[in-house]
Amino acid sequence: MSELSTAFVKLHARLTPVTFVPEVRLHQADEPIGLWELTEGEFRSSQPPPFWAFAWAGGQGLARYVTDHPELVAGRRVLDLASGSGLVAIAAARAGAAAVRAVEVDERAVAAVALNASANGVRVDAELGDILDGDAADAEVVLAGDVFYSEAMARRMLRFLLRAARAGALVLVGDPGRAFLPRERFRELAAYDVPVPEALESVRVKRTTVWELDPAPPGAAR
């Protein structure tokens, strides 16, 4: 984690409670579009958009579910994929996970995860890298919030999650109705009405579902 990335996060985001999970505080941008435009030029050359600066609906729903059901992660090794701000990872750490690994492809997101974990008094191992062509290593629980936002990402993510589930991991996903979620592969656990920034989602509330991945092929005998 570079000092420059840490400074950028501190400069452009303010530590505030998450609307739907107020037990957790994150560095969040006050004005989403301004920060998005600030990084847009860099994104065209390699820098991802500032997903780390917002509490997205899928992550909020999943973090709420983990917070309300700590037995799912307590004492277990947890992997949070495409962690963004680290919201879900922090929720898992607060719920008593034995270890939490948060993986991101954006160096600024890794900085945000580290800052946010420290602000919440928990240990999260923030890691920079793309692991989707690999496996979940020793993770017993794999969490992914709002990751089915594009067709290409959805294909890679599903393959990774299926490998994790078939290796014995519990796989939970939070999703606010994104177009590329393969619903036939999941079992619904809970649904919430999650407040979101209207500037990002064009609505003030997103219906968000927490799903558990079924590793068996659709239609297979149980």
The model's pLDDT over 57-114, given as tens digits with 9 standing for 90+, comes to 999 999 999 999 999 999 999 999 999 999 999 999 999 999 999 999 999 999 999 9
Give the pLDDT confidence score for residue 157 in this predicted structure: 97
pLDDT digits (tens, 9 = 90+) for 179-221: 999 999 999 999 999 998 887 778 899 999 999 999 887 766 5
Give the pLDDT confidence score for residue 44 in this predicted structure: 40
Q: b or e along 138-165 (b: 16 or more beta carbons within 10 Å of the residue's beta carbon)? A: ebbbbbbbbbbbeeeebeebbebbbbbb
Whole-angstrom distance, CA of residue 33 vs CA of residue 76: 38
Give the pLDDT confidence score for residue 80 in this predicted structure: 98
pLDDT digits (tens, 9 = 90+) for 113-132: 999 999 999 999 999 999 99
pLDDT digits (tens, 9 = 90+) for 41-59: 443 434 456 888 889 999 9
Instruction: Please state, rounded to an integer, the average pLDDT across all residues of the chain.
Output: 90
Domain ranges across the chain: 3-213
* Full-model pTM: 0.91
Are 47 and 105 in contact, with CB atoms under 8 Å apart?
A: no
Contact residues for 208 (Cβ-Cβ < 8 A; gap 6+): 57, 58, 60, 61, 174, 175, 176, 177, 191, 192, 193, 194
Give the pLDDT confidence score for residue 182 in this predicted structure: 95
* pLDDT bracket for residue 37 (50, 70, 90): low
Whole-angstrom distance, CA of residue 103 vs CA of residue 107: 10
Give the pLDDT confidence score for residue 197 in this predicted structure: 80
Give the pLDDT confidence score for residue 36 in this predicted structure: 53
* pLDDT bracket for residue 163 (50, 70, 90): very high
- Enter the CATH code of domain 3-213: 3.40.50.150
